[in-house]
Chains A and B, each alone.
Chain A
Amino acid sequence: MKDAALLPNLLVFARLVRAAGLRVHAGRMLDCITALEQVGLRRRADVHATLRTLLVHRQEDLARFDEAFELFWKAREAGDGRLPLFSLGERPRLKAAPPSAASVELDDIDAAGAAAARLTAGAYSPADISRTKDFADFTHDEAERAETLLADMAWRLGRRRSRRWSAARTGAIDLRPIVRRNMRHGGELLYLPRRRRVEKPRPLVVLCDVSGSMARYSRMVLQLVRGLARSSGRVESFLFATRLTRVTRQAGSRDLADVVTRLTHVVEDWGGGTRIGETLRAFNTHWARRVMRNGPVVLIVSDGWDRGEPDLVRREMARLRRRCHRVVWVNPLLGSANYEPLTRGLEAARPFVDEFLAANNLDTVEQLAGHLLKD
């Protein structure tokens, strides 16, 4: 790489990295030039490390960055100025696309979501909808209105006491401002300032089942995840069928259709079978340490149909329970008349669940909001 060619080359690289789905600010490319002047261009490993340390700031992005760099370097070595940018850049995105069978179902949700977004509040009164009718029995029209209602529902989470202090009327004596505040009394301690621990919203971790048996409720589930993600507290969201996918970043969008599109890209096993045990194990092993801080409430949304080992479910539920404040299990089938709750996985999980709740209609979803509020 000749120095004169450095800037154009870097700009090409920036486009490649952006195409791979990373966010790169234009200003950062100038930093890269300064940095490369310091490090030199002779060694591939040095150029790679320099660009990586400046352009990537998340571990999850490293693989995509490395892939982009590989392509870039190969094209450069081949002396080919015409980098087939667009086809190359599309690759990572295509890789993340779900299997075609699943995307049919999602197109359906997508259309519904878009429609729901157009039908903002005002067109219908929420009171029109039967509050006790099962979500699965809703007509398309009713479902759209229910979604609008769900979206507007203000989710508030329970609170916890943090380690942080703030001034208060009552509480422990606060020594920090004591001298300054009492100088006006000639240094006599007449006024004793007080402080208290600050209360913060309790974090929430949502694990939602999107397997085949839950398909009828998947709209409700997505709506719930989005509603929670947009609430004021700290919420981590995961979807699972056979595997667990973290969707915290994708779930927080204002627009439901947008959420659905983004989730389609990251979740690969919509409508598959359920493996609750394996899912919980994956969560406990790979995610718990990162997302289970400060005594969160864990919300599991699933019908409890599990094809795996009940023993594994028991073990992993016990582990999960030890790390959180409360486990709330929401089961959309609980409210329906013909539901037999004796699935083996659910039985195994039962001792570790603080509350079992139904969430199959609007009334029960409102109750759920109440339960999350409790401390």
Chain B
Amino acid sequence: MDTTTLLPGSVDELQATLAARGYIADRGLAVSMYLALRLKRPLFLEGEAGVGKTEVGKVLAAALDTELIRLQCYEGLDVSHAVYEWNYPRQLLEIRLLKASESLNRADATRHLFTHEFLIRRPLLRAIEGARARPPVLLIDEIDRADEEFEGYLLELLSDFQITIPELGTIRAEEPPVVIITSNRTREVHDALKRRCLYWWIEYPDFDKEYRIVTAKVPAAGARLAAQVTSFVQELRTLDLYKAAGLSETLDWAAALVALNREALDADVVEQTLGILLKNQEDIESVRGTRLPALLARALAHAAARSEPDAGPAPSNTVP
């Protein structure tokens, strides 16, 4: 089973593969991803909400043509939801059946009830178990939501990629999965875990990058609207808001404007749709009204200046 052939041969190649799938990664992130694949180390991604951290896992799985296994973290996440669980309703039923058929023998039954047949495999177990053509991508999403105890468990798992189930023995990964861990930094994740990983901080994208992403993901928006949308969001991020708009908000907004058949921004439509960009009442109020005209004027001027050199027709016929 030769798994290395599918790995990209260079950072450039990886960047091109990702771009072909609509993910615009800047050089630094691409280098980190490349090293994560080459050195077989987990990649720890941090950044504000909505900058495309989760997307990295998804696009990487698509690019490597392998399975994506996702573990969404939450407070109280424990082994029975992250690793494995015995299917006790089925076990109980099985006991009844054995009894009914009068073939219940304690030693045999115990052996019989704790087999693979009654095992529910959760994401972490699925990621290391079983024969696959290629190792899967394991996406551990929003680890900052899980509690510290879970980090400890993960630290152990990531060091030797094996899981011990008392009744079944130790299961070891033939080939470790590609691990992507994301965090929104709602708390500090322990340094020990981060040190085991490659670390990358994803910034909000700059104008050029965000513009490319908007045109790639919402092609129906057209060049002019895409530039205006991007400029406005970039202006919005310079304000001192509680929660700045992320990239995913930009994309939602662009799609919403397309749905409203808009080809350009004006004060009315911005005001009506501001709730797509800002999810906080204080923020919406502080932007709406007096600040909005100046903000919009700056954004439109910027967009006009940026789109002049290549003011070609918009690729409006493409399907998103």
Interface centre among B86, B99, B104 (most CB of A within 10 A): B86
Asked whether A164 is an interface residue with its Cβ less than 8 Å from the other chain, the reply is: yes
How far, in whole Å, are A216 and B98 apart by their CA atoms in the complex? 78
- Quick check: B198 and A183 within 8 Å, CB to CB? no
Asked whether B240 is an interface residue with its Cβ less than 8 Å from the other chain, the reply is: yes
Q: Which residues of chain A have C-beta atoms less than 8 A from B209's C-beta?
A: none
> Residues 147-163 of chain B: 1 if any A CB is under 8 Å from the residue's CB, otherwise 0?
10100000000000000
A57-B197 CB under 8 A given contacts A187-B98, A290-B186: yes
- In the complex, which of the residues B32, B86, B282 contacts A49, with contact meaning CB atoms closer than 8 Å? B32
Asked whether A111 is an interface residue with its Cβ less than 8 Å from the other chain, the reply is: no
How far, in whole Å, are A176 and B87 apart by their CA atoms in the complex? 9
- B200 vs chain A, min Cβ distance (A): 5
A46-B31 CB under 8 A given contacts A163-B75, A293-B187: yes
Q: Which residues of chain A have C-beta atoms less than 8 A from B76's C-beta?
A: 162-165
A319-B282 CB under 8 A given contacts A45-B28, A179-B88, A187-B95: yes
Q: Which residues of chain A have C-beta atoms less than 8 A from B194's C-beta?
A: 57-58
- Quick check: A179 and B11 within 8 Å, CB to CB? no
Asked whether B185 is an interface residue with its Cβ less than 8 Å from the other chain, the reply is: yes
- A267 vs chain B, min Cβ distance (A): 20
| Segment among A34-42, A118-126, A255-263 that sits at the interface with chain B | A34-42
Asked whether B34 is an interface residue with its Cβ less than 8 Å from the other chain, the reply is: yes
- Quick check: A38 and B187 within 8 Å, CB to CB? no
Q: Which residues of chain B have C-beta atoms less than 8 A from A180's C-beta?
A: 110, 114
- Quick check: B39 and A291 within 8 Å, CB to CB? no
How far, in whole Å, are A175 and B114 apart by their CA atoms in the complex? 15
- B17 vs chain A, min Cβ distance (A): 16
- B280 vs chain A, min Cβ distance (A): 10
In the complex, which residues 32-64 of chain A have their Cβ closer than 8 Å to any Cβ of chain B? Answer: 34-35, 38-40, 43, 45-46, 48-50, 52-54, 56-59, 62
Asked whether A294 is an interface residue with its Cβ less than 8 Å from the other chain, the reply is: yes
Q: Which residues of chain B have C-beta atoms less than 8 A from A184's C-beta?
A: 106
> Residues 190-217 of chain B: 1 if any A CB is under 8 Å from the residue's CB, otherwise 0?
0100110111110000000000000000
How far, in whole Å, are A35 and B43 apart by their CA atoms in the complex? 14
Asked whether A31 is an interface residue with its Cβ less than 8 Å from the other chain, the reply is: yes
Asked whether A289 is an interface residue with its Cβ less than 8 Å from the other chain, the reply is: yes
- Quick check: B186 and A293 within 8 Å, CB to CB? yes
Asked whether A284 is an interface residue with its Cβ less than 8 Å from the other chain, the reply is: yes
- B197 vs chain A, min Cβ distance (A): 7
In the complex, which residues 76-132 of chain B have their Cβ closer than 8 Å to any Cβ of chain A? Answer: 76, 78, 80, 85-86, 88, 91-92, 95-96, 98-99, 104, 106, 109-110, 113-114
How far, in whole Å, are A371 and B233 apart by their CA atoms in the complex? 45
- B53 vs chain A, min Cβ distance (A): 13
| Residue of chain A at shortest CB distance from B92 | A179
- A61 vs chain B, min Cβ distance (A): 10
> Residues 354-366 of chain A: 1 if any B CB is under 8 Å from the residue's CB, otherwise 0?
0000000000000
| Residue of chain A at shortest CB distance from B166 | A180
How far, in whole Å, are A39 and B242 apart by their CA atoms in the complex? 39
Q: Which residues of chain A have C-beta atoms less than 8 A from B31's C-beta?
A: 39, 45-46, 49-50, 53
Asked whether A170 is an interface residue with its Cβ less than 8 Å from the other chain, the reply is: no
- Quick check: A49 and B27 within 8 Å, CB to CB? yes
- A21 vs chain B, min Cβ distance (A): 15
A164-B241 CB under 8 A given contacts A56-B199, A175-B88, A178-B88: no
Asked whether A8 is an interface residue with its Cβ less than 8 Å from the other chain, the reply is: no
- A53 vs chain B, min Cβ distance (A): 4
- Quick check: A164 and B147 within 8 Å, CB to CB? yes
Asked whether A79 is an interface residue with its Cβ less than 8 Å from the other chain, the reply is: no
Q: Which residues of chain A have C-beta atoms less than 8 A from B88's C-beta?
A: 175-176, 178-179
- Quick check: A179 and B35 within 8 Å, CB to CB? no
- Quick check: A187 and B35 within 8 Å, CB to CB? no
Q: Which residues of chain A have C-beta atoms less than 8 A from B298's C-beta?
A: none
Q: Which residues of chain A have C-beta atoms less than 8 A from B106's C-beta?
A: 183-184, 186
| Residue of chain B at shortest CB distance from A51 | B31
- B316 vs chain A, min Cβ distance (A): 34
Q: Which residues of chain B have C-beta atoms less than 8 A from A38's C-beta?
A: 34-35, 38-39
- A111 vs chain B, min Cβ distance (A): 33
Asked whether A100 is an interface residue with its Cβ less than 8 Å from the other chain, the reply is: no
A45-B199 CB under 8 A given contacts A179-B92, A285-B241, A289-B186: no
Q: Which residues of chain A have C-beta atoms less than 8 A from B232's C-beta?
A: none
Q: Which residues of chain B have C-beta atoms less than 8 A from A52's C-beta?
A: 28, 200
Asked whether B142 is an interface residue with its Cβ less than 8 Å from the other chain, the reply is: no
Q: Which residues of chain A have C-beta atoms less than 8 A from B141's C-beta?
A: none
Asked whether B46 is an interface residue with its Cβ less than 8 Å from the other chain, the reply is: yes
- B272 vs chain A, min Cβ distance (A): 26
Could you jot down 19 A-B contacts, CB within 8 Å? A35-B38, A38-B34, A39-B35, A43-B27, A45-B27, A50-B35, A57-B195, A58-B194, A59-B46, A164-B76, A165-B76, A183-B109, A184-B106, A186-B104, A187-B95, A187-B96, A285-B240, A285-B241, A293-B186
Chain B interface residues toward A at CB < 8 A: 10-11, 27-32, 34-35, 38-39, 44, 46, 74-76, 78, 80, 85-86, 88, 91-92, 95-96, 98-99, 104, 106, 109-110, 113-114, 147, 149, 184-188, 191, 194-195, 197-201, 240-243, 282
Known: A49-B31, A53-B35, A186-B99. 13 other contacts (CB 8 A): A39-B31, A45-B28, A48-B28, A49-B27, A49-B29, A49-B30, A52-B200, A57-B197, A58-B191, A58-B194, A163-B75, A164-B78, A183-B106
Chain A interface residues toward B at CB < 8 A: 25, 31, 34-35, 38-40, 43, 45-46, 48-50, 52-54, 56-59, 62, 162-165, 175-176, 178-180, 183-184, 186-187, 189, 284-285, 289-291, 293-294, 315, 319
A-B pairs, 5 with minimum CB distance: A163-B76, A187-B95, A49-B31, A57-B194, A49-B28
